[in-house]
Structure 1
Amino acid sequence: MIVTGCISADHRRGGTFLAQIKKAAVIGAGVMGAAIAGHLANAGIRTLLLDIVPREVNEKEQVKGLTLEDPAVRNRFARMGRERLLKEKPAPLFHKSMMDRIEIGNLEDDLERLSEVDWVIEAVVENLKIKQDLFSRIEGVWNPGTIISSNTSGISIHDMVQGRSEEFRAHFLGTHFFNPPRYMKLLELIPTADTKDELVQEMKAFAEGRLGKGVVLAKDTPNFIANRIGVYGLAVTFWKMLEENLGPDEVDAVTGRAMGRPKSATFRTLDLVGLDTFIHVSDNVRENVEDPEEKKAFEVPALLQEMVDNGWLGSKSGQGFFKKVKGEKGSEIYSLDPQTKEYRPRKKLKAPSLEMAKRAKSMKEQLRALVYADDAAGRLAWFITKKVLLYSAARIPEIADDIESVDKAMRWGFNWDLGPFEVWDTIGVEKSVAKMKEEGESIPPLVEELLASGARSFYEKSPESVKAFHLGGQFQEVDEHPKEIHLSRLKEQGKVIKSNRGASLVDIGDDVLCLEFHSPKNAIAADIIQMIHAGVQEVSRNWRGLVIGNQGSTFCVGANLMMILMEAQDQNWPELDLMIRQFQKAMGALRAVGKPVVAAPFNMALGGGVEVSLPADRIQASAETYMGLVETGVGLIPGGGGNKEMLLRWTEGVDPKDSIGLQNRVNKVFETIAMAKVSTSAVEAKDYRFLRDGIDGITMNQDHLLYDAKQQVLALGAAGYRAPEPRKIPVVGETGFNTLKLGAYGLLQSGYISEHDYKIATKLAYVLAGGNLPEGALVDEQYLLDIEREAFLSLAGEPKSQMRMQHMLTKNKPLRN
């Protein structure tokens, strides 16, 4: 099931708007157009992907005897775009089956089919004349009321539809997706003066709910919001690098995580985007703004133009600011020396402020330690920060009417931890403005107005709400989606029922409790297990149900591996055995609590993170959830009931007497756990039965995840919820164990796995087979938990398993020994 969050207004052909967008068309099957079509398919929308007809037959088509009249030739560009969706990394599709929702065609034979769809998205080459001609053709087949939009990254939305009818213009707007559309949260909506207000609001709601986007309303100005500010920041950084005689590697050491930006920082980001693309976007601003100083800021440095002329475009050409070089010790990344224009080994800028930023306990400490430091890194960070903050403030109200739109655009579109005005608050508005004035900078009116009002920050936060400084010298409530639940705010409001170092029980309203993990990486240890037991008791007495969820960076990476390793190295087997027993009991308690329990995983849900989710009555997962029982990678097998839960899911409904059918099901479980398979999306998690088709739900917008999980709790309660009865599980027994073991032995003999992999696989096979029992025997859940725990403890004592655990903790990657 996919939670859709569809737009709600009544849309009729020839009238107003859509109750639900069921079918769309994307025109332009290039990298961006095909990826947009792919994400629409992810959202359950059937999509028609169109492109131009080729002018000539290629070599492969000639060999097949095809001509320009054959559909295979005429649809070539759209077909290539569609096929590319299965090859690109990271994958644009949730699952390969999403391809079935994408049809292909061309603009000559299939243009009239645009009358069948509810939304047409233009994603052709960035050329105003080409776009204008295309919209003229579209209007000829357009069904009045159908939404039309452009994915342009900077061309005037208004200019595109000059000459089109009033009705057409009323249903037209910009929908600027960020690349890659599946993963990038930002969608800029750019209406014109002619666009109907209802359309804008309903498209915003649709994009947030159905597409999972973070939407900001941008004005029809060059490059809109995110690219306008982001490209300015990149340009400023480039010029500063040249001025200070630094290298891109040295600059990136400062402008990445140290400044609350992505690891790709500045120049690795430019390589990923493409240097030619960066020049195009920069040119678009320079050619369309009036201010001479702003024009100058977007001038293309001679070095950058020379690199593009040389074909050094970045990652897509194999070299840009960085290049992979093969040497005696294998491949190594080299950095461009801007002075010599030759590649050299990378080096990092060393400065005390960078070390202080790394040790900081909060973003406030981190940024202040860096931007106010009087060393090379601090001066660079201050200059870039200063310029971006001043530029952002000066662009309001030109590009947006409010500061929160700018901040959201930069967080969602460029993956900054904080937007410009949030950064300003973090480093201190008064202190930073005083420093800027000392350096002769002109302070934008918005900032002077803030300080003149007596305020000292752009945002006012309280447990009840967040207010942002708006034009007119006042603070106004930040617009928040009704489906957003903020655990941090609820905790500030005193909604914590119980808490310890690892977890809390938080009242999220409607008599529903949330079990929130907040340990490092949300790893499960004794404190979390204690809170699970406490939550079960609390919910059984006083609440309608329980949601297991949090709003950290990841749902749960599994059990506390360091603790397991330390107990195993100390041979403290009674303590380790007790911990596993307690974990298993906690999972059993979740299943038997008598009130609905819904798990809400997102991002990484690994090992114990999966085991916490599987006993829940329902799982409501974020679309971007990567689930897997990965314990074999650290020399173990699941110990918290994961094997038993997977057997429950895979053997449900199978006849114990059907030995072949039962063995095939157990084989699937064995393969999934032994190979530590991890889903690449919540949709793919259904293939492994971490999620159950038709039972568990998927939320497209992670910001709505806790809300959707709570609704599942309430719906189960309203339907007369009863806790599931324990059931017997059919096992394949000794015969099935030998079958599984034989398969693993074949892999060992072929060199695909090591001796220790084989030992782990044998232990896993024994557990999944149910031990030395007759084939088809029925066992209870506790029996499987007992042999699972015994196998886990046995492997924890193996020196090679301990080596794997140690390697994962120190290197953050598996060891194959």
Structure 2
Amino acid sequence: MIRPIRQAAVLGSGVMGSGIAAHLANAGIDCLLLDLVPERLTAEEEAKGWTLDHPSVRNRRAADAVARLTKTKPAALYDDAFVRRITPGNLEDDFAKLSGVDWIIEVIVERLDAKKALLERVEQVWRPGTVVSSNTSGISVNAMAEGRSAAFRAHFLGTHFFNPPRYMPLLELIPGEATDPRVVNGMRRFCERKLGKSTVVAKDTPNFIANRIGTYGILVTLEAMAEGGFTVEEVDAVTGHAMGRPKSATFRTLDLVGLDTFVHVADNVHANVTDEAEQAAFRTPEPLKAMVAAGQLGEKTGRGFYLKRRTAEGGSEILSLSLKTMDYGPQKKVSSAALEAAKQAKGAAGKIKALLAGGDRYAELAWTLLKKTLLYSAAKIGEIADTVQDVDDAMRWGFNWELGPFEVWDAIGLKRSVERMEAEGETVPAWVKAWLVEGHESFYEQGDEGPRYANAGGFRRVERAPEAISLSRLKAQGRTVLANSGASLIDLGDGVACLEFHSPHNAIGGDILQMINRSVEEVRRGFDGLVIANQGKNFCVGANLMLLLMEAQDEEWDEIDGIIRLFQDTMYRLKRFEKPVVAAPHRMALGGGVEVCLPADRIVASAETYFGLVEFGVGLIPAGGGCKELALRAALGTLPEDDLQPAIQRVFETIGMAKVSTSGHDAIRLGLLRPTDQVAMHPDHLIYDAKQAVLKLAQEGYEPVREERFRVAGRDGGAVLKLGAYLMKESGYISDHDYLIASKLAHVLTGGDVPAGTLVTERHLLDLEREAFLSLCGEPKTQQRMQHMLGTGRPLRN
């Protein structure tokens, strides 16, 4: 039970402090960002005649950090305008303001003495009931709280955000011995719902959960690498996608984190555990010490295990480090039967099993690394976390593993792998052996109410927030209403159905369009509304470009015309449906994926939604209603007596420059989402939020959207757009083919060859879209662009 958190204060404006403040601002929370008062003036401040007492000097550290937030790459803010929610200050003049906030987060240097001294000061201005937390990566929460009052300690805990706070989902909550459980539960609920974080509760032990296991895994990798004579490239080939882990694998990850940071984390465990074997496991290897001493810290210094440099030809190349010679050299391609088998396998579990079965030295390396990590994870249950679920969640959310350690163990066969471990002389934790003796053969099983995990006394149901709807779980429960190869209609309960895409890359083809039409009929008969969502890697990357290119190369113009008509008619029908429709895009929603969303009554987008009409990049324009919808919104968003041209110009630039939002909020700024659309903070709650939006629309007495004529800018407006594009062509900014596409886009957006102010129907613009699209499909340069995108994943400039 905590007070509602509307204002917060972050103490410390370094990379983590400013990043946390930015994410609080993303969540709509006003935030103080305080740091130390500078001890000396900069040359610029001296030139202005300022003194150390000048407010801008005293607030400089925090103010500079706030200013950097709008320049950070990747962006820390969902929208640069959110920076106004952060107020910079200093730890002297503004300290008393802490009594007016609801949450105080300490993010200063990782030294116990400094943290204790600051918390002592905080308590002097602390308002009872205010939550105070430390964003420590491994310092004891109980040690920090020593000497504080009982009331203060009841509201004090660790909140370990992972860097960068906007993008990394994991937040470890670390209660101290005196932390009120109601505060822990309240903060967990708040951080999940308001901040969109995925939380686990960790015990107050060195490095908590994710960093404890992740650091151990990297150290045993370095050990096995030295023993087996593996190169940096070989280790990364094994410990990346082949093991269900990120592409950055081991050494690219270390370069991103910073080798000095990693050594600090490892040293923290080494210094604070008592078991000699564990101390030895966390001893920093000599090559790593040498690299830190030499300033080879990774990306922050430009060199680590990898070095990126310019070539004589003006390009760039990435070299890798040899730990034998400590010199950089060209990377060598790594291939083997085991790695190839893993590449061809489907899903993380399939890849890991294929890798281990490969029978070569890379398979042996993978087994060694997995074996040690699994055994260590099992040995720490009860010490660093209470449950296998907490450990698995922490590794998936904090290190981006596709499967946590115990999920991996199930995937490779618990009983068989334990037998192999013992045959190799390994010590298997007693509780794992007892679990097997009881007749269990996995740590997880599918129960009647969903997945369950191994726990003392038997299986225990995996706990998830009620907002975390799982489509796969619903399908396992028999809630599929309709299905074909591209999509399914699933009963979400409470009279709401969900249309889920599951084609390759969720690309839109005839099967998905067919299922949309069938779903409309089914929802009309038996539901109150429809959600369009899925839980794939991306919402939808667009239409099936390969099919379209094949038809264009074969000059099957009637086929292409039929496909586009079907897409347009399906979207038109969806928009006119008499029951509410809510689209819920996440991550990449591009081209046709956007056009599926635009007809919906509401869009509830995940905060991390990259939304854009990108057809221009493959030599085309949107033809599934995208041009029509944005032109319609431009017309409806202006008064009849207002000039329509500026609004159409913005639409022309958005489509013509293939702009893609950097977040759900940014999609609103670009005009791709409406101000009435919503942004969901937690990706796992997206479908729940969309379902609630459907129910709200239904309860309010939903009325279907009626078609009305709307005005267009006409031939004069089109001429203005074409003139702008012509000037860009003449200046060398765009190619002749770009100009051709831009001219056709201008013709469509302005309603064609009609006078300015003419009232047209939506069907009129749809016909113009289709005609322009078909003509562009016949252009050789457009076909070249499509071919290049399919082959390289990048647009071609021709």
Kept after mapping to 1: 8 A contact 2:632/2:710: yes
Change beyond 3 A, Cα 1:788–1:151: same
Q: Which residue of 1 aligns with 2:324?
A: 339
Contact 2:610 2:664 in 1 (8 A): yes
Whole-Å Cα distance in 2 between the matches of residues 349 and 764 of structure 1? 46
Amino acid paired to 1:337 = S
Asked if 1:376 corresponds to 2:346, the answer is no
Over aligned residue pairs, what C-alpha RMSD do you find? Answer: 0.9
Paired residues of 1:450 and 1:473 also in contact (CA < 8 A):
no
Q: Is 1:780 the counterpart of 2:765 in the alignment? A: no
- Aligned position for 1:523: 507
Q: How far off its partner does 1:464 sit?
A: 3.0
Query: 1:808: how far off?
Result: 0.5
Partner of 2:666: 684
Name the amino acid aligned to 1:795: L
Please say if 1:706 is aligned against 2:691.
no
Cα offset, 1:363, TM superposition:
2.8
Using the TM superposition, give the Cα deviation of residue 463 of structure 1 relative to its aligned residue in structure 2, in angstroms: 5.7
Tell me the CA shift for residue 657 of structure 1: 4.2
Where structure 1 has 5 or more consecutive residues not aligned to the other structure, the ranges are: 1-8, 10-16
Query: 2:613 — aligned with what?
Result: 629
> What is residue 359 of structure 1 aligned with on the other side?
344
Q: Distance in 1 between matches of 2:754 and 2:486?
A: 40
Deviations 1:394-413 (A, max 9, x none): 00100011000000000000
> Structure 1: how far apart are the matches of 2:600 and 2:716?
32
Aligned to 1:198: 182
CA–CA distance in 1 between the matches of 2:8 and 2:233?
Answer: 43
Structure 2 residue 262 is matched with structure 1 residue 278: yes
Q: Do the aligned residues in 1 keep the contact of 2:341 with 2:358 (CA within 8 Å)?
A: no
Superposed, which structure 2 residues align to 1:50-89 within 5 Å? 50-89=34-73
Q: Is this contact kept in 2: 1:467–1:475, CA < 8 A?
A: yes
Bigger drift between 82-91 and 548-557 goes to 82-91
TM score, norm. by length of structure 2: 0.99
The equivalent position to 1:434 in structure 2, one of 416, 419, 425, is 419
Contact 2:33 2:86 in 1 (8 A): yes
Q: Contact 1:647–1:729 at 8 Å: present in 2 too? A: no
Is the CA contact (8 Å cut-off) linking 2:34 and 2:88 kept in structure 1? yes
Classify the secondary structure of the residue corresponding to 2:669: coil
Structure 2 residue corresponding to 1:663, chosen from 638, 642, 645: 645
Matches of 1:505 and 1:178, distance apart in 2 = 36
Distance 2:640 2:720 in 1: 17
How high is the sequence identity, in percent, across the aligned residues?
Answer: 58
1:675 equivalenced with 2:660 (yes/no): no
**Residue in 2 that maps onto 1:13:** none
Amino acid aligned to 1:687: R
Per the alignment, residue 5 of structure 1 pairs with: none
Task: Go from structure 1 to structure 2 and tell me whether the alpha carbon gap of 1:343 and 1:653 turns closer, same or farther (over 3 Å shift).
Answer: closer
TM alignment of 1:100-111, pairs within 5 A: 100-111=84-95
Q: Is contact 1:453-1:473 (8 Å) kept? A: no
Which whole-Å deviations, capped at 9, do the CAs of 1:70-120 have from their partners, x for residues lacking one? 011111110121112112111110010110000010001000000110000
Maintained 8 Å contact 1:247/1:337:
yes
Query: Take 2:207 and 2:599, find their aligned partners in 1: how far apart are those partners?
Result: 48
2:248 paired residue among 244, 254, 264: 264
Aligned to 2:80: 96
Q: Is the Cα contact below 8 Å between 2:339 and 2:358 reproduced in 1?
A: no
Q: CA deviation at 1:720?
A: 0.5
SS state of the match for residue 686, structure 1? Answer: helix
2:109 alignment partner, one of 98, 104, 125 = 125
- Counterparts in 2 of 1:377-776, with a 5 A limit? 377-462=362-447, 464-470=449-455, 472-658=456-642, 661-693=643-675, 695-776=676-757
**How much does 1:725 deviate?**
1.0
SS in 2 for 1:484: coil
Specify whether residues 568 and 392 from structure 1 end up closer, same or farther in structure 2 by C-alpha distance, changes over 3 A only.
same
User: How many Å separate the matches in 2 of 1:500 and 1:676?
Assistant: 32
CA displacement 1:144-189 (0-9 Å, x = unmatched): 1110000000000000111111111010000000000000000000
Q: State how far apart, in whole Å, the 1-side matches of 2:683 and 2:797 are.
A: 35
TM-score scaled by structure 1? 0.97
Deviating more after overlay: 496-505 vs 630-639: 496-505
Q: Residue deviations 1:385-444, cap 9 Å, x none?
A: 001000000001000110000000000000000000000000001111111111100001
The answer for unaligned runs of 5 or more in structure 2 is none
Deviations 1:601-635 (A, max 9, x none): 00001001110000000001111101000000000
Q: 2:307 and 2:457 mapped to 1: Cα distance?
A: 49
CA distance in 2, matches of 1:779, 1:736: 15
AA paired with 2:444? Y
Contact 1:276 1:308 in 2 (8 A): yes
Deviation at 1:449, TM superposition (A): 1.9
> Which amino acid in structure 1 is aligned with residue 746 of structure 2?
A
CA distance in 1, matches of 2:625, 2:334: 48
> 1:251, 1:349 within 8 Å by CA — same for their partners in 2?
no
Instruction: Give distance in 2, aligned partners of 1:447 and 1:648.
Output: 62
CA distance in structure 1 between the aligned counterparts of 2:209 and 2:70, rounded to whole angstroms? 31
Separation in 2, partners of 1:493, 1:310: 57
Residue aligned with 1:136, SS? helix
- For 2:154, which of 170, 184, 187 is the aligned residue? 170
Q: Conserved in 2, the CA contact under 8 Å of 1:463 and 1:490?
A: no
SS at the partner of 1:632?
Answer: helix
Structure 2 SS opposite 1:508: strand
3-state DSSP class of the match of 1:121?
strand
Return the match for 1:800 from 781, 786, 796: 781
Provide Cα deviations, 1:311-336, integer angstroms capped at 9, x if missing partner: 11000000000001222342100000
The secondary structure found in structure 2 opposite 1:565 is: helix
In the alignment, the residues of structure 2 paired with residue 455 and residue 345 of structure 1 have an alpha-carbon distance, to the nearest angstrom, of: 49
DSSP 3-state at the match of 1:483: coil
State how far apart, in whole Å, the 2-side matches of 1:432 and 1:372 are: 12
Mapped partners of 2:349, 2:125: distance in 1: 55
Answer yes or no: is the 8 Å Cα contact 2:468–2:688 preserved in 1.
yes
**3-state SS in 2 of match to 1:152:** coil
Q: For 2:560 and 2:722, how far apart are their aligned partners in 1?
A: 27
Q: 1:434 to 1:373 in 2, by over 3 A?
A: farther
Q: In the alignment, what sits opposite 1:12?
A: none
Report the CA distance between 1:655 and its aligned residue: 3.3
Q: Which region of structure 1 is more displaced relative to structure 2, 294-303 or 224-233?
A: 294-303
Counterpart position of 1:4: none
Q: 2: CA distance between counterparts of 1:681 and 1:208?
A: 18
One-letter identity of the residue aligned with 1:354:
L
**Displacement of 1:687 after TM fit?**
1.3
Among candidates 6, 9, 15, match of residue 31 of structure 1: 15
Map of 1:295 onto structure 2: 279
